[in-house]
Structure 1
Amino acid sequence: MRGAGAWAPLCLLLAAAAAQPSRPQPPERPVFTCGGILTGESGFIGSEGFPGVYPPNSKCTWKITVPEGKVVVLNFRFIDLESDNLCRYDFVDVYNGHSNGQRIGRFCGTFRPGALVSSGNKMMVQMISDANTAGNGFMAMFSAAEPNERGDQYCGGLLERPSGSFKTPNWPDRDYPAGVTCVWHIVAPKNQLIELKFEKFDVERDNYCRYDYVAVFNGGEINDAERIGKYCGDSPPAPIVSERNELLIQFLSDLSLTADGFIGHYKFRPKKLPATTAPPVTTTFPVTTGLKPTVALCQQKCRRSGTLESNYCLSNFVLAGTVITTIPRGGSLHATVSIINIYKEGNLAIQQAGKNMSAKVVVVCKQCPLLRRGLNYIIMGQVGEDGRGKIMPNSFIMMFKTKNQKLLDALKNKQC
């Protein structure tokens, strides 16, 4: 019975091991997969394989549901995605509810936003990556909270009453906290508009509102094309009236300086219908008989006139930047410029993602002056009512070179 003899020592060893007091096992590291359905009072979500590098060409969706009557609070503990000033390549989107309806925010790079709060008991998180650069992804914790128990870090929500107010956390007792993200979604009946007014306003000042800011959007999601304005400093923004029956207000503070904050008020108002149908407004350029203004304008010879010095004071804005997108629309060209330096801002709308800034410009005649994607330019022009730069055939545009820097810095201090 050779087999029975061989088993005897092993049985004794197992019996001895069983007699020893058991050691507590270390907690298992959670395994993060691409998306999922999560329910309950709290839990974690993370990019696929976190903390390892997330895979390319992926689209992962997490649907979170907390108990009925509560709201979802999402706190990012870590984020490291490919950085881009418009978050076009790798990014995390956070939505109210379980559909691609109201987007609360889009994040990339390493900027960690503050707490994000849904208006109901559902939230959706979606991460998209392209084929190129990757990082370690993200990890976030979700938890359930009572809608009326928003602590220092909780703010925002759905506002549907005919009038009301909204304010930064801690207002008016003390400064708003660092690392906060608040989103208020105001929804009026279909046939009404929303009027918005800030009573008191004090948000960390920065020339480009890169750190702490309030942004207001037409519609129900954060969309740069629908942004009405971005505000900081201690001067309240001018009263705002929505174009439609929805407005989104986003407040964001970074992890450093804070300030008093703000309180704002809103009310619904009826749409005013014009008594007669007004003809479309056309831009007042010099025209020749029988030609549309832009046609006549774009038939002129494309020629840059004057110098950097002579055009500086004639322009609303002056910047140096890299053209990162160009989209032809009709006879014009819509471009996004990543800003290298800005020398004169005027009313130009500056967009910010992380620490990168960009602006949108419209070349009225798409071939004149010619802007090519990927190249660096000095751009001077006027600013339209929508905050976009307007580039006319006679606007001063030239290639940006390091040797121009000293002259531009000198012009920046010039009194016009």
Structure 2
Amino acid sequence: MMRLRGCGWGVVLVTAAGLLLLVALGLALALILTQNIRHDIILTLFLVPDLEIKGQAVEDQLLSTSAPDLLNVGDGASHTLPTMSANRSQVDITAAPQPARIPPAETRCGGVLTDSEGSFSSPNHPGSYPSNMLCAWVIRVPPPSIVQIHISSLGVEGPSPCLFDWIEVQDQTEQGSVFTRFCGNVAPPTVNTNSSTVWVTFHSDGSISGTGFTAQYRAILPGHKSCSREEFMCDSGRCLLPVSVCDGHPNCHDQTDEANCSHKHKECGGQKTGQYGYLSSPNHPRPYPHQQLCIWYLFVEEGHVITLSFRNFSLETQDVCEFDYVEVHDSVSTGAGRVLGRFCGTTFPPDLTSSGPHMTVVFVADEGVADSGFNATYQAVSVLDRTCGPGQFACTTGECLQQQWLCDGWNDCPDGADEQGCGNSTYPPFTSSCEIIEVEMCQGLSYNLTSFPNIWLSIADQREAATLLRQYQVLMELACFEPLRKLVCGMFLPQCSPQGGVLQPCRSICSSAEQQCSQALDLFSFSWPFNCHLLPDSQDPMECSLP
């Protein structure tokens, strides 16, 4: 079985207790339906900016530890809200609200920013941010001003499409909400929004942590949109990094980013296919010209990786490499994979090695200070000769994996090399056991044997699963509870197959529940919170379960 990090069969689960409470409060939720099988489940929520609770703006309650009992929705009418009873088995009009779980003080983040300018950052920045964080900032400036955001430092687990850790900006336009997500270690261009209220969220999973980010915001008038000195501004006010200008792909609606590009590619860049080669900035060792964009595409034979070594290096020095820099991508083009690094100043970059037979090197120079530039050599290295770091395992493709991923039941190497010969391996294979379903809510399914630990949702045993499933019992009065029960039980207590494996719920189970439950959720403008397309499209009981 091949594990696809960040896009496995698992789906995002929304606790029904939280769902009902949020619906009752009239909050608008924006769900990021992502699940990384190795990591935790993700829920991002944004609050309606004009909602008021007891006469106070709702953002004042963002870090509140209890739910309000009275809601003002702007029409002058007051509405009493139900709260969840202690056992969460029914809606209790009189029970006291349950306290919300908030992180320890040292890791708290998020909040409401109402000054005309300010800054915010990930917890512990510039140190490593904690795992399993979800931070939300609401930035509000007085209309008609709009919000401009500049992320000046970024070190967030990537690469694109940012399925593990990310920063996300939600901007409200006339056409609806626009979400822009960032990750990696290259600071994105300036974000000119179109609204006086903007939501920013930061999410981290349970795995790799980076240095996080720091960002600045300010209020600007709609006609005064701007970009940083090295950036290019489209007619719509969108800012582009230099690497996105004259790259052969129009990024502006009017395609102005691809106009007047002949000088940008003069005597630099291009495709290199030899097993060994050389590349340098224009005019090296003399100062490089201003306003340069050079892109080298390196390709070597299959079964090899590329090692890039810098022999000379002197670019304009900056704390953050924004003006002149070299950027190295572990992919066939920019934006297609992880960034190995962005470098500037006079400190030599380390030797860089790709994970496959291709690498892309970008050199950017602005119109300001110019230095002597750089030269570098690259060399193809056979994957058989490549050595990985301590605690790592080398696939036959050259990719280095964590040692603990060996013989864990997942094919992490493209050819499955990490799961071959596991019978004699000192790394024990993943083991699970079939056991009779004991959780009352999930008894009476088409199967009575489940597999634990639950490798899909990282649930240790049935006791933990039962605790989580109690939150769904508040939906028992809904007409669609039965199909929803089958779907949820199929994920929390997966069927143990006759061959000893674990069966995922079939897509039809999810689709049936969606069809029957969506109408009820639509009454509250709440979208279906499960991504059914990530489940197997089959009716074969050997491939998936039909609870």
Do these two structures clear the TM 0.5 threshold for a shared fold by scoring above it? Answer: no
Q: Where is the helix percentage greater, Structure 1 or Structure 2?
A: 2
TM-score bracket relative to the smaller structure: 0.3 to 0.5
Q: Where is the strand percentage greater, Structure 1 or Structure 2?
A: 1
Q: TM-score, normalised by structure 2?
A: 0.28
